[in-house]
Structure 1
Amino acid sequence: MKTQGEYAPGTYENHFGSWSTALREAGFEPMQEYQVPSEQILEEITRLATESGEPPTSAEMREQGQYSVTVAQNHFGSWNEALKAAGYNPRKRMQVPDEELLEEISRLTDELGKVPTAKEMSANGEFSHKPYIRRWNGWQAAVRAAGYEPVGRPAGPDHHNWKEQPVHEWREYGDNWDQQRQKALERDDYTCQTPGCEWTQDAHREAFKRGLHVHHIRPLSAFGADENEVDFEQANCLENLVTVCAEHHHLWERASPLRLDTR
């Protein structure tokens, strides 16, 4: 579908919840790739390597392989690990042109039906997120260079993620903020608590040039009209704090004062 169809698989996933559901709605029974033995995936990698004379890239697997890259990643953790399991060393390209890197963002956007995050690029793209960070000094800048708006970064009132901000700006989080923030990070094991997200402190610093965020579940405005009236002891209690990443912080802001389900 992604190479010959008019619409990207992500379009069907957005409409029906999954590609398999879309196939069933159309009267077909989907192939269960997760049932493919790992040995068959390794055999397919070997076949492609034999035909081309070198280990296949993830793009070549998508275009010429019998199975998707995703099923290989599910079995082995990543495409490179699948290559190693098949007895090959991943091909290293020292200087990928900017245009090719940006085209991969566009391709993955079409495949997923949304702008990819840095982790999704590393998991599903031909390249990891690291060359983008080195080349554009950050994943978000690379996404913008490709002509897209990064996930979780509202661009103004016309953007679908826009949320009107309060008229006041909080400049102080209270004398106990640094201590409570550190306790929240330690409690959450320095990992974003959004369901399904696995951003760690080190990876977040590399991708976003800053550490993970600590979010107030109930906003400061719920504890006082202005900075002089806020009860920071209550506002900064651990039960009101949660560790989140830059990509998902806006989701928590939108849910406030409710709490998203955490792991």
Structure 2
Amino acid sequence: MDELGAYAAGTYKDHFNSWTNALQLVGYEPIQKYRVSKEAILDDIASLADALGKPPTASEMRSKGKYSVKLAQNHFGSWNKALQAAGYDPHHRHRISDEALFEEIRRLVDELDKVPTAQEMRDHGQYSHRPYFRRWDSWQAAIQAAEYEPVGYPSGPENHKWKEQSAHEWRGYGDNWRVQRLKALKHDDFTCQTPGCERTQKEHREEFGVGLNIHHIRPLSTFGETESEVDFERANQLDNLVTVCVEHHYLWERASPLRLDTR
């Protein structure tokens, strides 16, 4: 309105107390302030950083970004905080170092008295979980790179759940796996079944670069002691499979053989 209208937006605010009120009085629905998600803004910052070869300034975001700096500020509190959430150092204008990311994991370990989950990093960390996924492809890999044991993923003889041939390390899922995996995705409408999470296959690929995971509710180890003995026909039955995102897969691993959803 300020750029193309006959009157300034301030005029409408003076007359109707707000721009939203003015729109509603003439029968239009105002654009919702936070219709664009935080994840979309972070994706935009990362894409622009890749194109520029450095973190974008607020001015560069205004001129070349898909979303406005103001929208980023509304979501994150400031442009610097938006850059931090995207995994960049706003003070030095370069990518946050691996050591800085590891240090934040160590800080949360001390604060929480346990290895943090990706959700806890997103909720309580200085950075979001996103730079860890971009740098190491998964949260578990980032935790291992920081020299901690990923939550819910036993490995090594020091872990009380470790087995000489752990089911978590098996790579084969039987001859019918591809067919059953697709059936599970279709059954779950290509959406993560973790309560409170509604990531779709498309959103998951955009956020993590891979498709949704398929989790065995009853672990493979209950269908045979070794990989060669596993009854994959039974293990891969549809009622034993559930679609989950990489961020919440560990929750299902910890709950196994129970379901986390209500079905």
Give the TM-score normalised by the residue count of structure 2.
0.50
Name which structure has the greater RCO, CA cutoff 8 Å, separation 6+.
Answer: 1
Larger Rg: 2
